[in-house]
Amino acid sequence: ISAGVWIYMLLHSPYSLTTIFVPQTLSMTKSTFVSIMRRQFQISHLSALGSSLMWLVYLFADLKNADLVRQSWTFLFSAGALTTLCLGPGCTLAAGWYWREEILRCEGNDEIQERIGEENGKERYKKLARQSLDEICFGGVKGNFKVL
């Protein structure tokens, strides 16, 4: 619905995007009830859009820090800008959230596949314990230890 409304607005609106979304100072327009409310709605829309998009950027920053997203920031920002321009901000947020959920779902499946065949993750635990013991005792040098 959001994309449909956005595309209809782009195709049929007699006003430019800046006229619709960028608030003007009150000194440039008459101080009528309609102009004041229009300005308040514009500010509210830009605040909600800005904070939502910033939240999505923070979510993708977390994914990049965890090495779950391999795309560059240039690609991510370009895809977001293009999606916002073509399909609107609501569709961009929904698509970004869906992509994030798919990344997390696929990562969860990889971890589940690693544990299949292991006895409740004992082998992984032994491997991690061996690693941390090596790091503690030898500063990262690999040693041969018997794990009970």
Instruction: Name the CA dihedral angle for 67, 69, 73, 78, rounded to a multiple of 10 degrees.
Output: 180
> Residue 118 pLDDT > 90, yes or no?
no
Instruction: Please tell me the predicted confidence (pLDDT) of residue 74.
Output: 94
Instruction: Please tell me the predicted confidence (pLDDT) of residue 80.
Output: 92
Q: How far apart are CA 97 and CA 55, in angstroms?
A: 10
Helices (H), ranges, the chain: 2-12, 17-21, 33-65, 73-87, 89-115, 122-138
Integer CA distances (angstroms), 67 to 61, 95, 127, 131, in order: 10, 20, 21, 21
Instruction: Please tell me the predicted confidence (pLDDT) of residue 91.
Output: 92
Average of per-residue pLDDT values in the chain: 78
pTM confidence score: 0.64
- Provide the pLDDT confidence category of residue 21 given band limits of 50, 70 and 90: confident
- For residue 119, give both structure tokens: 């006895």
Q: 40-78, pLDDT tens digit by residue?
A: 898 998 999 999 999 999 999 988 888 888 889 999 999
